[in-house]
Amino acid sequence: MAKKLLLVDMDCGIDDAQALMMALAAPEVEILGITCCFGNTTIEHVCRNVLRVLKVCNRMEIPVFRGMSHSILGEINPEYSHFGGDGLGDVEDPTSPGLEHLQEEDAVHALIRIINHHQGQISLLATGPLTNLALAVKLDPALPKKLNQLYIMGGNLEGRGNRTVCAEFNFYLDPEAAYIVMNDFTCPTFIAALEFANDNSLTKEFFKNWVNQDTVKANFMKTITAKGWPEKKNFVSYDSYAMAAVIDEFIITEYLECAVSVELQGNYTRGMMVLDTQDKLKKKQKVFLMKKCNLEKFKERLWSALL
């Protein structure tokens, strides 16, 4: 059976690394490229982190492209702290690949080129701010029609945020980009929002067993998560839920289908994903919001990622 063709756009922090390792371990997936965006850390660190994960997984042949270093308006200055300043726990590794391994082509044009070359075949997964995607669709408005599916980790379902009172991290870091993507991408779109991930958290015991496997990948994950993750009450690998859905459509067992948009003006709600469950916006395009997950299948995918 032909492999699923995948493009990944990410702001590689710890949970992005977990999601990427899940995909790299999935035999049914072929990653055609990884485009980088600011978010969990600076764009330079994001690029280095992706290359570092690829090296740990012996997959340096996958091309990596540098993308946007700030939001479309350039007005938000992120604080890089929740995953350490470098996004991977501030654990130095002198053997990590350098930026000379990046492709010369920028991320936005790479997205356009690769999608056009494989029209109707590619699933695109975005696990960070949606800046690269928003710029790509403005350069090529027909791009969404050439995608098979779009998967996103971001946004929120109930108006409660983790970056501000009402906004989730990825959408808040570039609300304009999120607005553009929610309104201009007409391909089938699946969203793993903040509350969905939190409602499907795993136990601290699973996390400890997971990183204590006697493998190179597990040792890497244990090292980069040493400063904080083991102390958390539950284990939530946010980006991995969206990645699992790409790999295996049966992992997500329930969706809410409705139109969505993104608030850009509110003092407290800027960046919040707005759900139109009553069809008041009269939008033709609907998205699929993940509601329930088969946690046993999800745990199997996570476990395999570190083998």
Average pLDDT (172-199) is 97
The structure tokens listed for 304 are: 């395999």
- pLDDT given at position 232: 66
- pLDDT given at position 251: 98
Orientation angle between helical segments 131-139 and 175-184, nearest 10 degrees: 50
Residue 84 has pLDDT above 80, yes or no: yes
Average pLDDT (249-262) is 97
Q: How confident is the model at residue 228 (pLDDT cuts 50, 70, 90)?
A: low
113-117, 223-227, 244-248: least confident range: 223-227
Q: What does pTM read for this prediction?
A: 0.97
- Domain assignment of residue 283, given as a range: 4-305
- pLDDT given at position 229: 61
Mean pLDDT rounded to a whole number for the chain: 95
Q: How confident is the model at residue 193 (pLDDT cuts 50, 70, 90)?
A: very high
| Residue from 142, 131, 86 nearest 106 by CA | 131
Per residue in 44-55, pLDDT (tens digit) is 999 999 999 999
Going by C-beta distance under 8 Å and a sequence separation of 6 or more, which residues neighbour residue 137?
143, 144, 180, 181, 184, 185
Residue 77 has pLDDT above 80, yes or no: no
Cβ atoms of residues 236 and 203 within 8 Å: no
Q: How confident is the model at residue 1 (pLDDT cuts 50, 70, 90)?
A: confident
Strand partners, 125: 8, 151
Q: How confident is the model at residue 165 (pLDDT cuts 50, 70, 90)?
A: very high
Angle at 128 between CA 237 and CA 158, to 5 degrees: 70
Query: What span, in angstroms and rounded, lies between the C-alpha atoms of 200 and 209?
Result: 18
- pLDDT given at position 227: 82
Report DSSP state, residue 124. E
- Is residue 171 within a helix (H) or strand (E), and if so which, with residue range? helix 169-173
Average pLDDT (242-253) is 97
Q: How confident is the model at residue 195 (pLDDT cuts 50, 70, 90)?
A: very high
Residue 230 has pLDDT above 60, yes or no: no
Residue 171 has pLDDT above 60, yes or no: yes
Please compute, for residue 181, the number of CA atoms within 13 A of its CA located in the half-sphere on the CB side: 33
Q: What total number of domains does the chain contain?
A: 1
Q: How confident is the model at residue 154 (pLDDT cuts 50, 70, 90)?
A: very high
Query: What span, in angstroms and rounded, lies between the C-alpha atoms of 137 and 187?
Result: 12
Please report, for the domain that includes residue 157, its CATH number.
3.90.245.10
88-92, 176-180, 235-239: least confident range: 88-92
